[in-house]
Amino acid sequence: MADGRREPPPYGRDRIRGSLGSNSPYEGGRGGGHPSMRGGYPPHGGPGGGASYQTQERRPTWRNPSPGPSESRDAVPSTSAAVSTPAFSTNVHEPPPQPQPSSSGLGNIGRPLHRAAGPRRRPLADTLRTRGPDAPSKHGTTGQPLQLQSNYFKLLKRVDWTLYHYQVEMVPPCASPRLMQSLVNEHKKLLGGFVFDGVQLFTACKLSNDELVLHSQHDRTGDKYELHIQRVAVVDMTDETGIQVLNLILRRAMNGLNLQLVGRNLYDAAAKIPIREYHIELWPGYITSIRQHENEVLVCCEIAHKTMRMQTCYDILRECQRHDRNFKDAFRRAVIGCVVLTGYNNKTYTIHDVTFETTPESTFDTKNGKISFLDYYKNKYNLRIRDSYQPMLLSRAKKKDTRSGDSELMALVPELCQMTGLTDSMRSDFKMMRAMADHTRLNPDRRIERLETFNRRLQTSPESQEVFKVWQMELDRRLVELPGRLLPQEMIFFSTTSNGVQAGENADWTAHFRDNPMFATVRLSRWYLIVPSRCQREAGDFLNCMITAARGMRFEISNCEMVPMPDDSPGTYIRTLDAIINRDPQMIMCVVSNSKSDRYTAIKKKCCVERAIPTQIMVQKTITPKSGNVRTLMSVATKVVIQMNCKLGGVPWKVKIPLNGLMTIGFDVCHDSKDKSKSFGAMVATLDHDNRGTPKFFSTVSHHSSGEEISNYLPLNTVKALNEYRREFGELPKRIIFYRDGVSDGQLQYIYDHEVRSLVEKLGQIYKSAGIEQDVLLTFFIVNKRINTRFFDHRLNPRPGTVVDNVVTLPQRTDFYLVSQSVKQGTVSPTAYNVIYDTSGLKIDHLQMLSYKQCHLYYNWSGTTRVPAVCQYAHKLSFLVGQYLHQTPSNMLEKKLYFL
């Protein structure tokens, strides 16, 4: 992509922000925005000290000054990439909207074939096509047929239009996105419906000639321009460019709904739901996308909610001043990294730092001379800032801005910045989250009503109708109907001799543990219970419950040795653990007084990194009986006993998988909570030699130094799992099923080129060295649970085991959706499975049923999970390492599920 870069234009985004000098060739000073700091931090000055924000005609590269403790967290490196952020327009009756990041990919449309004046864009890879024209059918037949609805609307085309791609070059060159838009808009009658990004033009109708020269004139200065338009290609509506243009059209049509863009999505501020008890508001909104599916262009619409706090950054400052002696550091901790909304321009900003040396009385330069922040907001927005001595918030430019050669800091007034999102303390407030859930967890019936209301608003808005008319499109008023199938219920086996029990309609078999043993257990004879002295009575009662529960599941637990401690400080736990570990225990249980992370981290680091001892940590509140009735702890004790058996190497239950020699692998990534530039990739493999045996497990963690989610260690870690399989069973697995989580659509091509191909090559070498000449039987799934697709079964939630592999799937993929869970509140979320590599020879029915079976094997929950068990294990392991250990665990624990 470096070959597509060039030096940034002399004015860049200055025209949009209204910060050009008077000698600018374009009168852009009207644009609203924030005063910005260029060339680093401003000169320090107290109130009235005249701290000046310098604005230059040509923007200098932003350089990070000597960072202080709070400034070094998010240092943004300089960049010379010249990729601008022009506006888009599909309706020339109004000024074009400013581009904003969105799920539709606003502002990234391919790469022109020739150099042209104005901004350049990064090249985009085409959508990964993993399904050939002669591939076998991807529509399964197993299961009970269903007729479902989904949160999609058909895009009805009145004519069979095609998208034409042209390149535009302006003579003389023009660097102003707004001016370029206005020059092209003069020819709206000739162009019809169009999308223009400053270099590339996409039209619904073919122009009269493949090469045209149009003439435009600046309506204020009278400057004349020539528009050289050259045809490039016809756009395939299933590739990345076509998808993005469709999304731009849809976003433009939604402008008529008077929604507010917050972050990436649109929200209805007028319909906000106040929860005054907790000083928050919920803004309802919509997440939309449009693309070519199997046979139709479909619009997906999902209901979303944005949490807005009824307090400004200034309110937080006052709280810090009242309650903290060092209020400056407290305020920094409270706001740095938070996203705020500025109501006067309806934009969001991430706070990167706070400067107490600069205040609203400080001044910055404009083309008309110096002006203070107080006067700027008074003149520009008619806003009066009450406290002229408050500090200023600093927000760095977003990536899309820095690509144009920009590097700047924007100064924000705390008094004018509304806080968004939730703090950790808010998330831990059960009552508040419950109050929010009453509004955000919509059952299928309410969700369908909201979707139909959205459709009606879109159909009746004049502005929306104008956009659809220009592009000769029409939106269907009904939700899409599609076929689905309900897979048979799975049988849960608690022993090799039992006939098994059905998982049930809700896929929950917790009650069956009362009458059945666990499939395989490991006798627990040497273990210790570390407990603070004040918790001994609760710990003793819970221990008795555990022994009773274990006896019913044929799990032998000997009485442990209870080790009391005088206090519950992390240091005391470490000293006690050091003394116990020398006695070679099988397991150590620790009772902690609360959920503070420092204590949990100290215990896990000692037992997972320095030594290799499985541990079970219990919070005092969890083991305290309700109303003094010890029997209320039996449910918790049963789950803990199952968990402890798994950590020792036992297996609670199995499902029938009629494939011998199978190795199932899951992979996920978690970022380091201390250092965002680091991440950890965890791989967990289940080793099954035959269906009647006890499965074995293998896990490993790799450190990613640059914070990426792409793993260069994936082939190496897979080879480790193969070697472990060969040590256990004396041969290599006959078949490998790989479930890869944590991948977005934009990374699919990279995953295929770097992970899958290198994995296939490495496996080929291993199998050939073992004398096996045939291709490795490998199936590589991409698993995605962060999707907006929802399904409805007669206005109810689909039952667990519901599969959809038609209508809303994509023609270039072998993909399907699987509903594997049941929920008691809200609408159930399906999981998307995308097969990007498959040499197994299995039918799609087999792959779908195998994936559903895998959702029954997560031993931390006696029910199904949203993703296959190996993916959930990998997530648990990567989360443990990324959040608490911050280093790879001991390889002595590789064969145990110690991370449950």
d(CA 482, CA 255): 30
Q: Is the peptide bond before 733 cis (omega within 30 degrees of 0)?
A: no
Which residues, in sequence order, are bridge partners of residue 302?
287
Three-state SS string over 814-840 comes to EEEEEECCCCCCCCCCCEEEEEEEECC
Give the H/E segment covering residue 732.
Answer: none
* Of 668, 688, 793, 838, catalytic: 668
Q: How many angstroms separate the CA atoms of 518 and 574, rounded?
A: 33
Cβ atoms 228, 171 nearer than 8 A: yes
Q: Are 108 and 453 within 8 A, CB to CB?
A: no
Exactly one of 406, 688, 741, 815 is catalytic; name it.
Answer: 741
Alpha-carbon distance of 867 to 833, in angstroms, equals 9
Q: Show Cβ contacts of residue 504 under 8 Å, excluding neighbours closer than 6 positions.
A: 489
Token digits for 49?
């000290």
Check if 353 is active-site: no
- C-alpha distances in Å from residue 123, one per residue of 181, 236, 708, 836: 22, 16, 20, 22
DSSP category for residue 607? I
The answer to whether 835 touches 845, Cβ cutoff 8 Å, is no
Residue by residue, DSSP assigns 80-128 as --BB------S-TTSPPPPP---TT-TT-----SS--SS-B----PPPP
Q: What token pair was written down for 666?
A: 């899951």
- Structure-token pair, residue 695: 């499965």
Structure tokens of 838?
């498959």
Closest Cα partner for 642 from 518, 495, 501?
A: 518
**Phi, psi dihedrals of residue 533, rounded to the nearest 5°:** -55, -35
Helical (H) or strand (E) element with 670: strand 662-671
Q: Which two tokens stand for residue 210?
A: 């493949």
Cβ atoms 168, 227 nearer than 8 A: yes
d(CA 691, CA 254): 54
Residue 668 annotated as catalytic: yes
* Burial category of 145 from C-beta neighbours within 10 Å (exposed 0-12, middle 13-18, buried 19 and up): exposed
**DSSP H or E run through 541:** helix 536-552
d(CA 587, CA 661): 31
Cα–Cα distance measured from residue 220 to residue 207, given in angstroms and rounded to the nearest whole number: 29
User: Would you list the DSSP string of 494-534?
Assistant: SSSSS--EE-TTTTB-GGGGGT---SB---B-SEEEEEEGG
Separation CA 134–CA 367 (nearest Å)? 64
Q: How many residues does the chain have?
A: 900
Strands of the sheet with 194-196, listed across from one edge: 194-196, 200-203, 163-171, 224-235, 211-217
Q: Which residues, 6 or more positions from 36, have their beta carbon under 8 angstroms from its beta carbon?
A: 17, 19, 53, 55, 397, 408, 409, 410, 411
Q: What does the angle CA 541 – CA 544 – CA 549 come to, to the nearest 5 degrees? A: 125
Q: Bridge partners of 155?
A: 475
Give me the active site residues, please: 668, 741
